[in-house]
Structure 1
Amino acid sequence: MQVQILGTGQLLDLQRKLRAAGHENIRRSMQRRIRRAAEPLRDDLQDKIRTLTITSTGRKAGKRGGPSPTTRPLRASIAQAIRISVRTTGNPGAKVWVDRSALPPDITNGVVTRLNEGRLRHPTFGNRKRWGQQNATPGWWDKTVRAHQPRITREVERVVDDVRRRLE
């Protein structure tokens, strides 16, 4: 699951001009400003997943339960794996995504997608013969991204215009 803010035409053109002009400090400044524009989105996504309500149907009468086989909280693990990357070369833009390599091995990227859909099915305590279902508020990722997109787009446009003016 990832978000990409791309103004590829403007950013590619600007990237060529930066490379031709050899202004490394302007390029670094542009990257830093684009990253700053995406940081509130990352922070808000982390807050949303940390406070996401996840409910289950619970155990039926007479069924045994037990402690969780993992000591790691699901929502905190996902929040720590949300990353930002900014590129000004190749395919320029800013990307906010869930880094699979930062997730514990038993939490796949599909878990995040299914939580965004509002329904997570999983084996009960690792027993693949018994499955449980948990429900979450659907669209937590999509709604947060949509709320931030106009602001990020304005910020990136402002940064590109500033850099373009500096180069002219």
Structure 2
Amino acid sequence: MAGRATYNVHLGEEWRRTALALRHVDRELPGQLRKAMRDAAKPAAEDAKRRVKSLPVHGRKHSGLRRRVASGVTIQAGAGRGLGVRIVTNMRDPQERNLPRYLDDPRGWRHPVFGNRHEWVQQHTGGSWFRATIAEHRPEMVRELEHVLGEAAETIAAATRG
């Protein structure tokens, strides 16, 4: 099973009521809402990918770890019971599932040198590439999501009036 690091934006009861009402008004609206939520989170996810790729690399040999971590950053959006948007990172290799979290820890981590259990090093990355990046984008994402919710509420109100 692949590992996962997640950053959630919890949207509250108003979002849930709106999503349920959307189902009764127009079958296409929940899909449009999911797309709008993904679009709101996209700048944060792209910035996280850019930052992990720019982490310092020491030495001549490297395994492409930063590229693999960046390729695992995705956006998940739900408009039903799981209403909300998540930015997650998954590693395909189960043995690497914790690496995104290690790379995000300013304290660093210890690991064997290319699998040699007799030679260990302390690795430092210089700070948070994931949590801090998403947190920087959070106010903008919340504003965009509130705008999306307002538009959905107007659509529902217009449909119930007409």
| Bigger Rg, structure 1 or 2 | 1
User: Runs of 4 or more off by more than 3 Å in structure 1?
Assistant: none
Unpaired stretches in structure 2, ≥5 consecutive residues: 158-162
Deviation at 1:106, TM superposition (A): 4.0
Percentage of matched positions with identical amino acids = 22
Deviation at 1:2, TM superposition (A): 1.2
Match for 2:103: what amino acid? L
Unpaired stretches in structure 1, ≥5 consecutive residues: 59-66
After superposition, give the CA deviation of every residue in 1:84-137 in whole Å (9 maximum; x if it has no partner): 01001112000001123xx334422x1111111131311122122221121111
Q: Which residue is 1:29 aligned to? A: 32
Alignment map for 1:5-154 (pairs within 5 Å): 5-21=9-25, 23-55=26-58, 72-100=63-91, 103-108=92-97, 110-118=98-106, 119-154=108-143
Taking the aligned partners of 1:151 and 1:10, their CA distance within structure 2 comes to: 19
Contact 2:8/2:85 (8 A) holds in 1: yes
Taking the aligned partners of 2:77 and 2:122, their CA distance within structure 1 comes to: 37
Deviation at 1:54, TM superposition (A): 4.2
Taking the aligned partners of 2:145 and 2:44, their CA distance within structure 1 comes to: 14
Match for 2:114: what amino acid? F
TM-score relative to the length of structure 2: 0.86
Q: Which residue is 1:159 aligned to? A: 148
